Each structure stands twice: as structure tokens, then as C-alpha cells.
A and B are shown apart, each in its own frame.
Chain A
């Protein structure tokens, strides 16, 4: 973990070499999800509510998923942009260094401009929380933090799976975007508004529901039954990441036996 921060600091220094481009990109990232959020806003303006969810409740869901997404794009960019590492042969370098491949790949790239996006989502989060009549408790705060943290893990897991595919295809797989961008677009709304199979997929296969919809029910006091269960739902993100790491290790083994 210490090494990860060393990578972080050297790449941050590199980023500072290109300040203008950094600010422009950050600025752009701030506004990209804006249009999406505007769509959300106008929809609620027109319909008032969505299956029992108010505008601010949905905005909270939106903010959490987008925060998790921008954090993962910043801090797990190495896996997200892994195809260039393989195609350029740089992965060989990773293998001749005495550290785990996961840390080294994570440390190979950071996308600091995603802070623009993070900031935008954070503003929406604060705005939504300010307007929601939530009775706060320590447990709820922890749950909220867990939701974001765990969301980061899920996105990271998907990047890892996509990166693993690069060992076979060399080129990046756009397929993975269905799950990252698609998952983000889906999970920014409460999952119960969708068809049953969509809900099931994003709860049990890629557990976005476990970091947004389900724990939100707890925070918004909509739970009937075991509150602890809902509160701990975000831990599913950890459960999701573990098999991803295993699959990654398999990919590395494949790479080392084929060299492609």
C-alpha cells in the first residue's frame, strides 16, 4: 500500500508538468455529468416522482454512484487503461520487478482530472443531503462512506476483468464499457424502477444495487426488517473484487505462457 502512494506521488508530479491541460480537462470533467444530471432534474420537474422516489432521494443515489465512478477512474486508471500497457510491452517491465502485478498496474496510471467529476458529484451529494429529512446516526454515516468505497471496488473489479481480457485480445475491450458506463447509468437511479432481470443482474452478478439502492433504503428509513443487513450490503463490493483478482491472476499466468 505504501508503494501505491509512492506511485501516486510520482505520477502526480508528472501531471503537474502539464498544468494547463490538467485544468482544462478537470474543468471538462466537471461539466460532463452535468447534462446527465440536468436530464434527471427535468424529468422530475415533469413527473414529480419515480416509483415512490423523490428528486433528492434519486439525486443522492446519482451522486454516490458518480463519486464512486470518478474515484475509481482516478485511482484504478491503471487497469482501465491496461491495453496500452500490454500492447506497448510495458507489462514485461512489471514482471521483472519484485512486487505484485496488481499494485504495479494500479500504480502505472492515475487520472487526476477526474477530480472535476468528483467535485461535481460531491456538490450534488451535499445538495441532496441538505434537502432530505434524514435522521443521521453514526451507522448511517458509515453506511454512506461504505457505499462510495465499495462502489469504487466494484468499478475497479470490472476494470480488472476488462484488463484481463487484454491478455487474449491485446486491444481493449469496449465490451467492458457496457458494464462500467452502462452500470453507472443504471445504478444512478434506484434499481426498483427497472425490469426484474435488470435488478437481479445488478444485485447478484455485478452488485451495484448493493452499494446504491439497497443501503439507500436504510439511510432513507425505507427498510422493513433487518436494518443491519441493509447497512452491510456495501460489503458485497469486496466480495465482487475477490474473484476479479483471481481471474486477473489467471490472465497473468496465461500471458506468461503465451507471451502475447
Chain B
């Protein structure tokens, strides 16, 4: 794979990071004691994390809260220095060449704004132009492109505090792309957005990835983000990398389960089919769950049609959310 697509853009090797956390016990007495003596616990936030990413990929970085997603993003964006391991991004070591490196990346923290609250959005953009020393020509071209594709025409002269969350997020994303970064880190970019804004944001991420070749790494809890965007999933839990692969691989690994809903003319006697679990039975509708590795859908339907008069059949694959929950369970995180 490496030969096909050239060298890696991002490569992490055995990144480890521990935090010292003050241990707190319940009770006033313990709290008073903690004022003077504090017990510390070492928490491993990242344990030997290794992965590589090619230029132009969109990678979804998922895991439950506290799994180490943010820590990884912080290491990759040069904010945190890891305890061990090496990281090479575009030839830089993020935490060593911070100032030189961060010119090439854009970071969106979904929960925190990077825009100046009380002034029109365009003022923030102009300040960012000065912060990143963006050449006038590049700035104008990027601004026009971003305003057009994100539909910001009516927004950029409005003070940030008057924008809705969805409008603000579009402005935030534009802000992090003004300096034409090669890599975009998105930390929960769709958090709290309504359906329309979510789709607009996703669409845009796809566009800049395709047209500008920006490599995108996004963390999210919304699996539909991943379904819509990510070619590849990295799953982290308890500081360790648990899964690295495509979404369809993940689906085929867990997705051989199907749920079949059958509507039929009234039948009081529940029908049992070998190898299939009957989830519910009412006189007009039945719900079955099966594993396509053991029983084929066709045989289930043909067996059923011999016994009842089928009106309608609906087959559902397991939603991606459930697959993820199952994956978390499997790894006990």
C-alpha cells in the first residue's frame, strides 16, 4: 500500500503519554486533608499508539470519552509533548518545530471558538491573515473560495456572537483553512449542529479534501459523520489503538447480522425457523434476527412464505452505532 500511494504524510510510532492526576476521595475530611497532602495517580492516556496516514485521506478517529482522542490530536498538533515514541508529520516533529510546523495545519476545536466574539467575522479573518502572514493574493483567493463554497456571504459582516451555532461552525472551519493548511484536524466539528448544518459541513469537508487534497483527521461521536466522510477509521480505547481499517471491513466483520421484519395476514401461531431468533410476534407482524453466515435470508423468507401470507418484508443491517458499541464491549472499554 505504501508503494502505491507514496510515503506517508503522518506517521506515529509508539507514542505514549501519561498524566499525573490528583486522586480525590469523598468526604469533607478527605478534602481537607487533600489541601495539604495530595495523592497522585499516574494515568496512561496513550499507550504505544502507532499509525500512519497518507496524503489526501480522511480519517475518522473514534473512541469513547476519555479514550485519548484529544490527547492524540494535541500531540499531533504540537500542543503536547509525548513521553515516548516518535511522530513525523510532513517531515516535522510537531512538538520540536512548533512554530514552523503549525503553519501547515489547521485545527478546529468544536467546543471552542477561534473567532473574536464581538467583531464581524471578516475582522477575525484579517487578523488570522496577519497571524499566519498569508500573502495578500493567497488570502483573497482562499477567502473567495471559502465564502462561496460555505455560503458565508451574509455571515462575514456579522459579529460572531450573533451567529447561530451552525453558522459559526462554518465560519470556524473557514478560519482554519485561510492559510491553506495541508492537514486539517477537526475535533468534533458537528457537535450540537442541526441536520442541515451537519450536512453542509460534511459536504464541505469532502470538497476541500477532493479539490485541495487536504488531509483530514476528525474525531466525532456521531457515526453518521464517519459514514458520510471517512475512508478509514481509527478506534482508540483506554489509550490503545483497537481498530484500524475501513468502515466496510468493520461492517463485514460485525455486519453479518440482519433483522427481518415481516408483515402478513393474520396468523396466531408463532413460526419458529431453525437458526433464526424470533424477536417478537404479533398476529400481523414478526421480527427475526439472523446471522447471514449461518442462514441465508432467501431461505428464511421461503420458509416463512410457506406458512404465512406475506404482505411486506424489510431487511435491516445493524446500524453502525451498534457495531461500535459492540466493538467497545468486546474490548471492555
Contacts and interface: CB of A to CB of B under 8 A. Distances in A.
A259 B112 contact: no
Given A93-B114, A96-B79, A3 B20 contact: no
A92 B78 CA distance: 9
Interface residues of B, number: 32
B132 A10 contact: no
Given A6-B130, A97-B102, A13 B118 contact: yes
A176 to B, nearest CB: 20
Contact of B79 (A13, A88, A95): A95
Given A7-B127, A14-B117, A259-B71, A96 B19 contact: no
Q: Chain B interface mostly helix, strand, loop or mixed?
A: mixed
Interface residues of A, number: 26
A17 B132 contact: no
Given A14-B116, A98-B103, A259-B19, A92 B123 contact: no
B74 interface: yes
Tell me if A's interface is mostly helix, strand, loop or mixed: helix
A259 B80 contact: yes
B81 interface: yes
A11 B127 CA distance: 11
Contacts of A89: 109, 112
B77 interface: yes
Interface stretch (B93-101, B201-209, B247-255, B298-306): B93-101
Contacts of B71: 259
B223 interface: no
Contact of B81 (A6, A96, A257): A257
Contacts of A54: none
A221 interface: no
A18 B116 CA distance: 15
B230 interface: no
Given A98-B100, A100-B99, A259-B80, 7 more contacts: A10-B119, A92-B74, A95-B78, A95-B79, A96-B79, A256-B80, A256-B95
Interface of B: 17, 19-20, 71, 74, 77-81, 95, 98-100, 102-103, 105, 107, 109, 112, 114, 116-119, 123-124, 127, 130-132, 159
5 contacts: A14-B116, A96-B105, A98-B99, A259-B17, A259-B71
